[in-house]
Structure 1
Amino acid sequence: MTAPAITDHGGDNPVPDLPLHDLAGFTHRWVDADGVRLHAVEGGRPDGPAVVLLAGFPQTWWAWRKVMPALADRFHVIAIDLPGQGHSERPDGSYDTHTVAAKVHAAVNALGVPTYWLVAHDIGAWVAFSLALTYESRLRGVALLDAGIPGITLPDAIPTDPEKAWKTWHFAFHLVPDLPETLLTGREREYVDWFLKVKTFSPDTFDDAEIEQYAMSLAADGGLRAALAYYRDAAESARKNHEALERQHLTLPVLGISSSHGSIPDMAASIGPWADNATGVVVPNAGHFIPDEQPDAVAAALTDFIAESD
């Protein structure tokens, strides 16, 4: 079998018009993941335990930029842009999380990593949960950060209480055919600005350059379509999750990372019915975007989780 192609330059970048940001000590890679080119940023200790990071909406791998250096002394750190995200290809077809999980796992294989710890936030955690259900034998543990996972931690009904509704209203909005595209095209920056400022404990967590960076990714060819597709395929993701859970529950170590002002008050309790070995931590003074808001606390929680699980 021919080994998947790996490049460490921008020549195979499927989103060349989107500015590429560097992080000291890390290298950009593009891998062929079952026919989809995915972007990975790799660094740290090559001989250390591998830690794979996945970000969520409306972000990219850059969401982990403050956490990655703190992990690099001990771990082989790999942040991957999901299909449709950042500098990864924006394919047509299904974005249900089991389909996407297979692409992510193929990317990790292409990078030559046999086993790994998986850490994921928001939509990245949707994908990580489905990946763990299918490839549990290849994972050493999973950490999931503040995520309404379809069929798992996502409430069946969107609350109408204004004090709660602002946290999850977009799930229904993103499901509506065509309307989000009509309202958001050309206004991606305003939309991203709202998410990043309202859903943080401190609204000055993100500066204008970061907001612009994420907005540009969403506006890049196919980015908005792909971002919405994760929500539009959420029912299929939930169905496949429950099909898998009928066969077995997760037995590997699972860490639920919640925050004092996040969307899911207790990730560990929400995941517990489907995971035999789930523990949790709550990060203080943080909203939904925990890796950006409290990177040192996230890095410490992950380091402790891996050490205790090993």
Structure 2
Amino acid sequence: MKAPASTSGASRTSGNPVGDLPLPDLAGFAHRWVDADGVRLHAVEGGRPDGPAVVLLAGFPQTWWAWHKVIPKLADRFRVLAIDLPGQGHSERPDISYDTHTVAAHVHAAVEALGVRTYWLAAHDIGAWVAFSLALKHPGRLRGLALLDAGIPGITLPDAVPTDPALAWKTWHFAFHLVPDLPEVLLTGREREYVRSFLEAKALSSDAFDDADVERYAASVAAGGGLSASLAYYRHAAESARANRRALERRRLAVPVLGISGSHGSIPDMAASVRPWADHVTGTVVPQAGHFIPDEQPGAVAAALTAFATEDRHGKRPAPKSPTR
């Protein structure tokens, strides 16, 4: 594996495969690029170098920036790594299968390239799709898995999109994204409008995202190959579902799992939806949150993750406390 790129001086963007995309900084955190089994992935790293590692994955239409309000709240206790998935943010947009088992292999390779052997994994939306598959493939490397408001293919994702308008707003895009070519025709040049409508429809709080956030995510989707890569996760969701089911025929999830739901999110009870496939599941519902829980209630998310990842001297984990903002 290649060594992580430095972030100092002229080498700050060394190895960046999406160099024309503005690169936001977060105080106290450094940008890294690593060769993750043939795909160059971007990570933002900081916190306590000697602390337990927490890896964060974001979903559509976001990037690692989805965690930027949560990361500083974890930094005092943990080594924190927020990784852009393939096709997302400042990671490469490769011509690969975007089924979640393939993507999980690249994400895990990135974590290893960053020198992490065991870690806690927290993921939202499509990031949670990848995280679930990663936990099935590498249970010995995970200390725990937190899944935030995600319909996971083959697990919690319904087989049919509801037609009731009261429910369809949560999942209508799954069918749209599956259509070959048409989404690209309709969305190219209109990424900003699409991203804004997506964020506003699924967030409970009207001030969860500002114009800079919308512009940042839209620019990522629009950057070379970003739109097609984003849609590819949906287009390969059926294969992700099949791979998940095949893996679950051999083993259940043995790692501790925390399901985090938003009070007004897409999945009312993440813990209940995952429990049939996992041995140790706890759950919490974050009040006053829609789908984008890390953006809407970062303090609650940080508190839940901290409680989940904190072990007492007997090796037991306290149940997550009722979160507050």
Residue of structure 1 in register with 2:323 after alignment: none
Residue of structure 2 in register with 1:147 after alignment: 150
Supply the distance in 1 between the matched residues of 2:83 and 2:257 (Cα, whole angstroms). 20
TM-score, normalised by the number of residues in structure 1: 0.98
* Distance apart, 1:204 and its partner CA: 2.1
Q: Which has the larger displacement, 60-69 or 197-206?
A: 197-206
* Distance apart, 1:43 and its partner CA: 0.2
Q: Please identify runs of 4+ aligned residues in structure 1 that moved more than 6 A.
A: none
Structure 1 unaligned blocks of 5 or more: none
Residue of structure 2 in register with 1:235 after alignment: 238
**1:127-276 equivalent positions in 2, closer than 5 A:** 127-276=130-279
Supply the distance in 1 between the matched residues of 2:149 and 2:2 (Cα, whole angstroms). 33
Supply the distance in 1 between the matched residues of 2:14 and 2:118 (Cα, whole angstroms). 29
Supply the distance in 1 between the matched residues of 2:157 and 2:81 (Cα, whole angstroms). 27
Number of residue pairs matched? 308
In the alignment, structure 1 residue 53 sits paired with structure 2 residue 53:
no
In the alignment, structure 1 residue 69 sits paired with structure 2 residue 67:
no
Output the aligned Cα RMSD.
Answer: 0.8
Residue of structure 2 in register with 1:27 after alignment: 30
Contact 1:28–1:39 (Cα < 8 Å) also in 2 = yes
**SS of equivalent residue, structure 2 residue 132:** helix
Structure 2 unaligned blocks of 5 or more: 7-11, 318-325
* Distance apart, 1:198 and its partner CA: 1.0
Residue of structure 1 in register with 2:3 after alignment: 5
* Distance apart, 1:93 and its partner CA: 1.8
**SS of equivalent residue, structure 2 residue 170:** coil
| Sequence identity percentage | 78
Summarize deviations over 1:170-209 as a string: whole Å, max 9, x none: 0010000011001000000000000111101112211111
Supply the distance in 2 between the matched residues of 1:116 and 1:97 (Cα, whole angstroms). 19
What residue identity is the alignment partner of 1:95? Y
Supply the distance in 1 between the matched residues of 2:216 and 2:114 (Cα, whole angstroms). 26
**SS of equivalent residue, structure 2 residue 139:** helix
Supply the distance in 1 between the matched residues of 2:167 and 2:17 (Cα, whole angstroms). 38
What residue identity is the alignment partner of 2:106? K
Residue of structure 2 in register with 1:280 after alignment: 283
Q: Which has the larger displacement, 143-152 or 7-16?
A: 7-16
Contact 1:32–1:38 (Cα < 8 Å) also in 2 = yes
